[in-house]
Amino acid sequence: MKTQQVCILGATGSIGRNTLEVIALHPDKFSVYALTAFNNIEMLVRQAWESRARVVVVPDDTAKRRFTTLWPEGRPLPEIRIGQEGLCSVAADPDVDVVMAAIVGAACLPSVFSAAEAGKRILLANKEALVAAGEIFLNAVRVGSAQLLPIDSEHNAIYQCLPAELSGVVPDQPHQSIRRLILTASGGPFRTLPLAELEDVTPEQACLHPNWVMGKKISVDSATMANKGLEVIEAHWLFAMPADKITVVIHPQSLIHSMVEYIDGSILSQMGAPDMRAPIAYGLGFPDRIDSGLSSLDLFANDSLGFERPCLQRFPALRLAYEALETSQVACVTLNAANEVAVDKFLQNKIRYPDIAAVVEQTIDYMVGRRHTTLAGLDDVLSLDATARTIAKEFCFARNA
């Protein structure tokens, strides 16, 4: 088989770094074509040098100059592209076979659409694009004859437990043999904290995830369970499942990554250590299995597997996601945009932890009450996303004042 040329959007992040680790185990199968970063240009230089990337994408001219200055002597500079245009061009580059979509947030939308339109194999780690663009994104995947493989561990687990005929397919209706999907969640760092103490939790505490090491935004989302909410919407689109057939279960050990329940009552689950290299290797190797670098899970080190019902009083963000999915795509775009803004403000100590869900709810109520537009394409989604951000910032400001 010819070596697959890989483009990693968001190479310096947690998923990006894990992807480079898996690729480094398989020099015969994969070459790095392009790497992108928004900050941490030092790390990008190191990554590009070690992986011999041919192209890098940085946000602006300042970052380009910095990259050029930091590049060691001895090898020619990679080609340097810039900004959103640069991201879209590498994602659609005719030399690229596989695109890892690991930019955090809705910022991933334009480049992931470019990859879809250009018919790439897309390893979708970013969930915000699918939450915001839903059907519009799936249509781009279908029209472009792209292949979409979920990397988010829950969706990757479900993908692995689906009937064989669904392999490699984006379905447009629920499979008749599936009764429901069961998404597992760790419950995050505040699963057992007395409710009254949630008022005072700090960004540092919220980022301390019990089982996974991830970027800051998704770590806060895991604490609030907004992450699971986004994943419910993601599962709805990826597997054509209605919201009432997607159940969320807290499973504090994070060993079962999710489950598919069939109409005969059988439940298939996928297990493994909580380490993103496993789903990344699955996506890179699909349909074959390749080494991810993980050693065997020590089952004797875990004497129990627990399951709990999520408390919606503790995790209002989860309720909001179910409601948004039932309401409209406008509500889903708004949910995602307002959550990104609120998490950012919380990380900057501008609002308190419970304000995150409150701002999201306020913004959805405001936007859904005023916007009756249908979203026809990416531009509509981006414009709605921008408006929702402005409104959410105002609600954050009001809470900070």
The residue (of 78 and 362) whose beta carbon lies closer to ligand NAD is 78
Instruction: From the list ligand NAD, Mg ion, none, pick the one residue 277 interacts with, judged by a Cβ distance below 5 to 8 Å according to partner type.
Output: none
**Residue 286 identity:** F
For 248-259, b/e burial (b = at least 16 CB within 10 A) is bbbbbbbbbbbb
How much of the chain is in helix, strand and coil states, percent to nearest 5?
Answer: 50, 15, 35
Please report how close the Cβ of residue 73 comes to ligand NAD at its closest, in angstroms.
Answer: 26
**Spatial separation of the C-alpha atoms in residues 219 and 216, rounded to whole Å:** 5
The residue (of 345 and 362) whose beta carbon lies closer to ligand NAD is 345
Instruction: From the list ligand NAD, Mg ion, none, pick the one residue 266 interacts with, judged by a Cβ distance below 5 to 8 Å according to partner type.
Output: none
Please report how close the Cβ of residue 300 comes to ligand NAD at its closest, in angstroms.
Answer: 26
Please report how close the Cβ of residue 151 comes to Mg ion at its closest, in angstroms.
Answer: 9
Residues near ligand NAD (CB under 6 A): 10-16, 37-39, 102-104, 107, 125-128, 152, 212, 214-215, 217-218, 276
Tell whether residue 234 is a contact of Mg ion (CB under 5 A).
no
Please report how close the Cβ of residue 165 comes to ligand NAD at its closest, in angstroms.
Answer: 26
Please report how close the Cβ of residue 152 comes to ligand NAD at its closest, in angstroms.
Answer: 4
Binding to Mg ion (CB under 5 A) within 309-328 occurs at none
The residue (of 130 and 357) whose beta carbon lies closer to ligand NAD is 130
Q: How is 3-18 classified by DSSP, letter by letter?
A: PEEEEEETTTSHHHHH
The residue (of 125 and 138) whose beta carbon lies closer to ligand NAD is 125
The residue (of 15 and 325) whose beta carbon lies closer to ligand NAD is 15
**Spatial separation of the C-alpha atoms in residues 231 and 122, rounded to whole Å:** 18
Binding to Mg ion (CB under 5 A) within 116-175 occurs at 152-154
3-class SS at 363? helix
Could you tell me the CA-to-CA distances from 351 to 80, 315, 319, 336, 396 in Å, in that order?
38, 17, 21, 17, 7
Please report how close the Cβ of residue 86 comes to ligand NAD at its closest, in angstroms.
Answer: 10
**Spatial separation of the C-alpha atoms in residues 45 and 25, rounded to whole Å:** 20
What torsion, rounded to 10 degrees, do the Cα atoms 155, 216, 226, 258 define? 20
Contact 375, 333 (CB under 8 A): yes
The residue (of 279 and 310) whose beta carbon lies closer to ligand NAD is 279
# chain residues binding Mg ion, by CB under 5 A: 3
Please report how close the Cβ of residue 179 comes to ligand NAD at its closest, in angstroms.
Answer: 25
Residues written for the chain: 401
* Angle at which helices 316-327 and 226-239 cross, to 10°: 30
Please report how close the Cβ of residue 35 comes to ligand NAD at its closest, in angstroms.
Answer: 9
| Pick from 347, 313, 308: nearest CA to 195 | 313
Nearest residue relative to Mg ion (C-beta)? 152
**Spatial separation of the C-alpha atoms in residues 279 and 214, rounded to whole Å:** 14
The residue (of 332 and 362) whose beta carbon lies closer to ligand NAD is 332
The residue (of 16 and 272) whose beta carbon lies closer to ligand NAD is 16
Binding site for Mg ion (CB under 5 A): 152-154
